[in-house]
Amino acid sequence: MNATVNRHWRSFKWAAWLGWQIESNWTEPWLFAIYSVIKPVAGAFILVLMYVVFTVIGNVQDLARFNFVYVGNAFFIFVGNTLFGTFQVIQADREWYQTLRYTYISPISYYTYIVGRAATKVAVAAFAVLITIAFGVAFLGIKIDLSAWELPAFFAAMALGAFTLVGIGVSLAALSFLTARHVRGLAEGVPGVFYLFCGVLFPLTVLPDWGQSIGKAIPLTYWFHLIRQITMPADYFAAVPTGLTTDPLEIMALLAVSATGFFLLSIGLFRLMEYLARRAGKLDMTTNY
Amino acid sequence: MDLAVETQQLTRVFTQRRKIFRRRRNGENGESEGPVTALDHVDLQIRDGELFGLLGPNGAGKTTLIKILATLLLPTSGIAKVAGHDVTKDPLPIRLKINMVSGGESSGYGLLTTRENVWMFSQFYGVSSKTAKARIDKLLHTFGLWEKRNAKVRNLSSGQRQKMNMIRGFVTDPDILFLDEPTLGLDVNASRVIRDYVKSWVKTTAGKTVLLTTHYMMEADELCDRLAIIDHGKILAVDTPENLKRRLKKETTFRLEVDPLKDTSRFKTIPGVKNFSLKSDGGASLEKLTFILEDEAAVSDIVSEVVRQGSKIHHLQKTEPTLEDVFISMVGRSLE
Ligand SMILES: Nc1ncnc2c1ncn2[C@@H]1O[C@H](COP(=O)(O)OP(=O)(O)OP(=O)(O)O)[C@@H](O)[C@H]1O
Ligand SMILES: [Mg+2]
């Protein structure tokens, strides 16, 4: 038992260490620090542009709406980076560094290793969200209302979101054990689907019925909803109706169930795909595009 | 005596979907379609503490065998046990005891330093910090990589990367180490250092086993306690290098240097010729023939066949059999 815990901890710790080395691979640490701030801010400028277009065309000079879009996009950074950070571990190790075979035959848990490698990306993405929000508050009139007693709920929501996303990411990564090409498209497509159908840019009610059904079937829709509910001022939040339940506990419960579901799915898929890849001799293939 | 490695009827078949794709695109011909049997009912026993060699031509199945034993690939059928555990059912206890290094590839995290790279892998195995540090320092010195200890891996030459990977293999102090062509592409000095180290590691530490593949006869002859000769996925012989050579003593080895021949197919049909191989020194005007004869009398037939083709014999010599001759005798061609 203790040996198992040890093994997972070892796997996570050194994978996270490696992930951090790769992420912060800058000759000058201060350059990395500046980059970490500049990148999200640059992203925010694109949002400003979007809003200008938005208001010119739609004539909606509505602060609440801008808040809605801005917060949604800021937290989408977290979604995209967590997903992609998890998904690309196998491909990078197999094709680029060619270390997968050696890591795989070492006495670690490869599943936990993937999660460890993704952890840095999750942390960096969370930081980027923070910077984006701070920039919005400072320069674009974004209003955030997050009081101390809401913090536990906020962190719980972030954790549940991260679990769900890592679960989806590992599932995609597991598929890439067997094929590289097709999964890459999938990994780029999935965040796109989330962007469209999870109420990131506009409330779900804007979508046609079938689109709303898709959105309501994806747990992240509720996650964005909950995050907005926790972070936006109550009147702003109420000003953009989304047609979703506003009971935070209900949403939390739903997210907890979906996070568990994706976790179990990812373990199952990982085991299956690992077995199939080891059987097919694909654990150390390189595709040589 | 305990067995480090044991296989029973071990078979591995690759279904070749990728090759078929390639052929369709390029209109390539000649290669056989359908599945390839990389290992064909292999029975092998490697004892604890042995330095065991696998010798075989390209595509013989050496790497496939190592991948299966290193828990990277599953067998199609048959059983493979490493340190007493089944590779299919029970890989984890195996992984705690093994490591693997393949030559001729340059894996590694380019943005880490040599030392960090090796360090990280040692930590995957739970080696204590103090032990890991001491081992890494020692190995960096041994393999002549000390100067590069803080260099980024992306700035290492391919030979230096290979040395780093050797250190990665030894730093976890495995009980069983798989080395797939460890000296491939290394200079004479580096190869020497690696051979000496591997040999002394097995001989001076109790309970250390090495399974090594190589294309260098000298290396196999010099290093290995026992050798398996493998071709087309089948083990043709397992014995000490000495015994393998002794087997040939009943046969006679002749070497000839002749002007290029038009047709060598007739040699095989001469009575008394067991096997022969031909090497032309790329571009040079002479061809080197090695004959393994069951009956020395065949020499006169060989000579007259060469003369009949209008070629001239520049050199003819009867020699002591080398490991290479053993190989030619069994496989029907030379390794290089
Ligand atoms: N992943 C794979 N898919 C399809 N065929 C494979 C695969 N790996 C190996 N083979 C085939 O199996 C056979 C044995 O290959 P293997 O790599 O074991 O040979 P080897 O003895 O290591 O040769 P070399 O001396 O060239 O390294 C070859 O015919 C090879 O084409
Ligand atoms: Mg090979």
The answer to whether A279 contacts B121, with C-beta atoms less than 8 Å apart, is no
Three-state DSSP state, B211? strand
pLDDT in tens, B137-189: 999 999 999 999 999 999 999 999 999 999 999 999 999 999 999 999 899 99
Q: Give how far A273 is from chain B: nearest CA, Å.
A: 13
Q: How much is the average pLDDT of A28-41?
A: 72
Q: How much is the average pLDDT of A240-259?
A: 86
b/e burial code for range B290-309 (CB count within 10 A of at least 16 → b): bbbbeeeebbebbeebbeee
Q: How much is the average pLDDT of A233-256?
A: 85
The contacts of residue B310 (CB under 8 Å, 6+ apart) are none
**Whose structure tokens read 């003369």?**
B307
The contacts of residue B110 (CB under 8 Å, 6+ apart) are A97, B152, B153, B154
- What pLDDT shows up at residue A143? 87
What residues pack around ion ligand 2 (CB closer than 5 A)? B 63
Phi-psi region of A192 (alpha: psi -120 to 50; beta: other; left: phi over 0): alpha
A215-219, long-range: CB within 8 Å, 24+ apart, which pairs? A216/A244, A218/A193, A218/A194, A219/A164, A219/A254, A219/A255, A219/A258, A219/A259
- What pLDDT shows up at residue A58? 58
Instruction: Single out the residue of A55, A108, A203 nearest to residue B95, CA to CA.
Output: A108
- What pLDDT shows up at residue B312? 86
Q: Rounded to whole angstroms, how far apart are CA atoms A148 and A150? A: 5
- What pLDDT shows up at residue A47? 76
pLDDT at A37 over 90: no
CA B233 to ligand 1: nearest atom? 14
CA B60 to ligand 1: nearest atom? 21
% of chain A surpassing 90 pLDDT: 46
pLDDT in tens, B26-75: 444 445 557 899 999 999 999 999 999 999 999 999 999 999 999 999 99
A63-91 and A110-139 helices, crossing angle to 10°: 160
Domain B250-320 has CATH 3.30.70.260: yes
CA B66 to ligand 1: nearest atom? 18
| Sheet with B234-239, side-by-side order of all strands | B98-102, B176-180, B209-214, B51-55, B226-231, B234-239
ipTM: 0.86
Residue ranges per structural domain of chain B: 3-244, 250-320
What is the CB neighbour count within 10 angstroms for residue B131?
12
Instruction: Single out the residue of B140, B137, B135 nearest to residue B125, CA to CA.
Output: B135
% of chain B surpassing 90 pLDDT: 60
pLDDT at A106 over 60: yes
Instruction: Single out the residue of A224, A225, A251 nearest to residue A238, CA to CA.
Output: A225
| Residue B24's pLDDT band (cuts 50, 70, 90) | very low
Q: Rounded to whole angstroms, how far apart are CA atoms B22 and B2? A: 45
CA A165 to chain centre: 5
**Whose structure tokens read 């290992």?**
B39
Asked whether B10 and B79 are in contact (CB, 8 A), the reply is yes
Asked whether B118 and B136 are in contact (CB, 8 A), the reply is yes
The answer to whether B120 contacts A17, with C-beta atoms less than 8 Å apart, is yes
**Is beta strand B287-293 parallel, antiparallel or unpaired with respect to B226-231?**
unpaired
| Sheet with B287-293, side-by-side order of all strands | B273-280, B287-293, B252-258, B313-319
The answer to whether B124 contacts A107, with C-beta atoms less than 8 Å apart, is yes
CATH number of B3-244: 3.40.50.300
**Is beta strand B226-231 parallel, antiparallel or unpaired with respect to B234-239?**
antiparallel
Q: How much is the average pLDDT of B214-220?
A: 89
The answer to whether A105 contacts B116, with C-beta atoms less than 8 Å apart, is no
pLDDT at A287 over 80: no
Mean pLDDT of chain A: 87
| Residue A1's pLDDT band (cuts 50, 70, 90) | low
Entry pTM: 0.86
Residue ranges per structural domain of chain A: 2-280
Which residues sit opposite B42 in a β-bridge? B10
Asked whether B126 and A5 are in contact (CB, 8 A), the reply is no
Instruction: Compute the distance from residue B19 Cα to the ligand 1 centre, in Å.
Output: 12
CA A265 to chain centre: 17
Report H helices in chain B. Answer: 17-26, 62-69, 91-95, 114-124, 129-142, 158-171, 188-204, 217-223, 241-249, 298-308, 323-331
R_g of chain B computed on alpha carbons: 23
- What pLDDT shows up at residue A60? 52
